[in-house]
């Protein structure tokens, strides 16, 4: 894409904003069948264009190799037959979900006869800012569309050829389904300046959802004049109470740490009640060391497990995204809760206990999106919660908290039916 002057860039982005706003107004009242047709059509076009998509993706892969990107980055970037098929399957799952728009959320008749109906409506225009994985292009666009929103996508520069090819499929599908082609737009200019301009366009854009690493998200929050829903990171804890089933505790620790350590809902830190620390610590080591988990801990834990390395104080804030687990021995429930509220990221935290009162206090006082009693933190996920596909997990408290599915991509409005009522 040709480099534009700042003025040209601004005017091009404003035009995209205006187009998205117009599209959003049409989408707001589009019937479910039409939105589904468009998503189903996207799946078909992607199947047809598969070879082209994969060859465009190869350009990105070649550039990534040339630019010395990490193996992990290149893996995230890659689209092969299986991943394209996964995208198509994901689209069909979204088709099968219920339309979240038009639900009557409440309805009251006031003493003066006014009938006030609160109904769910699309949010309007949503901007998604994301990094390397090109499948985000398809699944976030489809989720936004299904909820009746127009979308402006801004992917990473390293995936630009893949993203252009994918958005081309959506545009083609919109045209086939006779939906405004501006329902989904990709910003083709990959310089940072484009994001800065977009983040001030609150006359067009209602919501920004950044998906990616903590640095990206912090930049977006710092610059945006548009509401942002996000999570910075997932620093999830398991607290093992003195009164608990050891077998269950060990199973949950193993599952939350090892089942997929790179996810945001994997456990990073373990808090252990000191009355059981000497008994359970060796069992934790016995269970996790063979799984390749590096153990770290405070002084007490390191005294109990010789393989454990000492942890630094700042490390309690850390999301390892890896097979590393830090353990801290705490004197009581209050200290565990205080630790989580201080160092955690308000994502997902679990208490393992047989004591109902301990569980209730933990669940009431831990200030996180999802609080578990005797279950793995790995369940924080749209599908696991029965919402279907999610566009992200929010650790904010405004609008959406926890898994953010179709319902969280809607707003509401009030329809008031009168017969000439005037205010006294």
Binding-site ranges for a copy of itself (CB under 8 A) = 25, 28-29, 108, 110, 114, 116, 123-124, 202, 206-207, 221-222, 225, 227-229, 245, 248, 251-252, 254-255, 259, 341, 363-365, 367-376, 378-379, 384-386, 396-399, 401-402, 411-423
In the structure encoding, which two tokens stand for residue 398, read together? 């405004």
Contacts 24+ apart (CB under 8 A), 84-88: 84/46, 84/47, 84/50, 84/53, 84/54, 86/135, 87/46, 87/135, 87/138, 87/139, 88/43, 88/46, 88/47
User: Closest distance between a copy of itself and the C-beta of residue 248, in Å?
Assistant: 4
User: Closest distance between a copy of itself and the C-beta of residue 57, in Å?
Assistant: 30
> Residue 404 and residue 391: Cα distance in Å, rounded?
6
User: Closest distance between a copy of itself and the C-beta of residue 327, in Å?
Assistant: 19
> Residue 341 and residue 314: Cα distance in Å, rounded?
15
Which CB atom, from 65 or from 225, has the smaller least distance to a copy of itself? 225
Type and span of the H or E element at 151: strand 150-154
User: Closest distance between a copy of itself and the C-beta of residue 239, in Å?
Assistant: 14
User: Closest distance between a copy of itself and the C-beta of residue 379, in Å?
Assistant: 6
Cα separations (Å) of 354 from 82, 283, 304, 338, 339? 44, 19, 24, 21, 21
The distance from CA 324 to its chain's CA centroid, rounded to whole angstroms, is 23
Which CB atom, from 139 or from 381, has the smaller least distance to a copy of itself? 381
Which CB atom, from 202 or from 274, has the smaller least distance to a copy of itself? 202
Residues in the chain: 424
- Considering only CA atoms, give the Rg of the chain: 24
Which CB atom, from 261 or from 297, has the smaller least distance to a copy of itself? 261
309-310 and 294-297 beta bridge pairing: parallel
Which CB atom, from 232 or from 301, has the smaller least distance to a copy of itself? 232
User: Closest distance between a copy of itself and the C-beta of residue 15, in Å?
Assistant: 16
**DSSP-derived 3-state class of residue 336:** helix
Which CB atom, from 190 or from 341, has the smaller least distance to a copy of itself? 341
Q: How many other C-beta atoms lie within 10 A of the C-beta of residue 252? A: 23
User: Closest distance between a copy of itself and the C-beta of residue 164, in Å?
Assistant: 29
User: Closest distance between a copy of itself and the C-beta of residue 41, in Å?
Assistant: 25
115-122 and 104-109 beta bridge pairing: antiparallel
Which CB atom, from 157 or from 341, has the smaller least distance to a copy of itself? 341
Q: How many other C-beta atoms lie within 10 A of the C-beta of residue 75? A: 12
Which CB atom, from 79 or from 229, has the smaller least distance to a copy of itself? 229
**DSSP-derived 3-state class of residue 398:** coil
φ and ψ at 142, to 5 degrees? -70, -40
User: Closest distance between a copy of itself and the C-beta of residue 311, in Å?
Assistant: 22
Q: How many other C-beta atoms lie within 10 A of the C-beta of residue 71? A: 8
Which CB atom, from 291 or from 397, has the smaller least distance to a copy of itself? 397
Question: Residue 331 in contact with residue 300, Cβ under 8 Å?
Answer: no
Question: Residue 380 in contact with residue 265, Cβ under 8 Å?
Answer: yes
Which CB atom, from 72 or from 225, has the smaller least distance to a copy of itself? 225
User: Closest distance between a copy of itself and the C-beta of residue 236, in Å?
Assistant: 13
Q: Which residue has the tokens 């003493």?
A: 111
Which CB atom, from 326 or from 376, has the smaller least distance to a copy of itself? 376
> Residue 322 and residue 141: Cα distance in Å, rounded?
30
In the structure encoding, which two tokens stand for residue 136, read together? 């985000």
Question: Residue 170 in contact with residue 42, Cβ under 8 Å?
Answer: yes
Question: Residue 20 in contact with residue 125, Cβ under 8 Å?
Answer: yes
User: Closest distance between a copy of itself and the C-beta of residue 86, in Å?
Assistant: 18
Task: Say which residues have a Cβ less than 8 Å from residue 75's Cβ, sequence separation at least 6.
Answer: none
């Amino acid at each position: 894409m040709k480099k534009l002057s700042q003025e040209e860039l601004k005017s091009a982005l404003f035009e995209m904003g205006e187009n998205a706003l117009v599209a959003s107004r049409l989408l707001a009242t589009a019937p479910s069948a039409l939105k589904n047709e468009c998503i189903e059509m996207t799946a078909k076009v992607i199947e047809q264009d598969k070879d082209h998509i994969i060859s465009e993706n190869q350009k990105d892969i070649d550039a990534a190799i040339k630019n010395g990107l990490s193996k992990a980055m290149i893996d995230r970037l890659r689209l092969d037959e299986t991943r394209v098929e996964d995208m198509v399957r994901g689209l069909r799952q979204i088709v099968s979900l219920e339309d979240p728009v038009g639900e009557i959320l409440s309805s009251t008749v006031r003493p003066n006869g006014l009938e006030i109906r609160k109904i769910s409506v699309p949010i309007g225009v949503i901007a998604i800012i994301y990094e390397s994985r090109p499948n985000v292009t398809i699944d976030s666009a489809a989720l936004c569309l299904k909820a009746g929103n127009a979308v402006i996508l801004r992917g990473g520069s390293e995936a630009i050829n893949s993203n252009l090819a994918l958005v081309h499929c959506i545009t083609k599908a919109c045209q086939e389904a006779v939906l405004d082609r501006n329902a989904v737009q990709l910003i083709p200019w990959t310089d940072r300046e484009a994001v800065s301009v977009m983040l001030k366009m609150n006359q067009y854009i209602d919501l920004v959802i950044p998906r990616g690493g903590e640095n990206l998200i912090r930049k977006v929050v710092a610059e945006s004049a548009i509401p942002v829903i996000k999570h910075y990171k997932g620093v999830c804890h398991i607290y093992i109470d003195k009164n608990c089933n050891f077998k269950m505790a060990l199973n949950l620790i193993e599952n939350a740490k090892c089942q997929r350590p790179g996810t945001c809902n994997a456990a990073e830190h373990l808090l252990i009640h000191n009355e059981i620390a000497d008994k359970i610590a060796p069992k934790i080591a016995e269970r996790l060391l063979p799984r390749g988990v590096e153990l770290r801990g405070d002084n007490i834990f390191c005294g109990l497990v010789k393989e454990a390395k000492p942890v630094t104080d700042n490390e309690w804030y850390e999301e390892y995204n890896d097979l590393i687990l830090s353990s801290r021995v705490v004197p009581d429930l209050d200290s565990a809760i205080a630790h989580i509220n201080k160092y955690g990221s308000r994502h997902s935290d679990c208490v393992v206990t047989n004591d109902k009162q301990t569980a209730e206090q933990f669940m009431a006082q831990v200030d996180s999106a999802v609080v578990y009693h005797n279950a793995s933190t790995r369940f924080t996920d749209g599908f696991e919660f029965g919402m279907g596909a999610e566009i992200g997990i929010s650790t904010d408290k405004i609008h959406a908290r926890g898994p953010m599915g179709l319902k969280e991509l809607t707003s509401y409005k009030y329809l008031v039916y009168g017969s000439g009522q005037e205010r006294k």
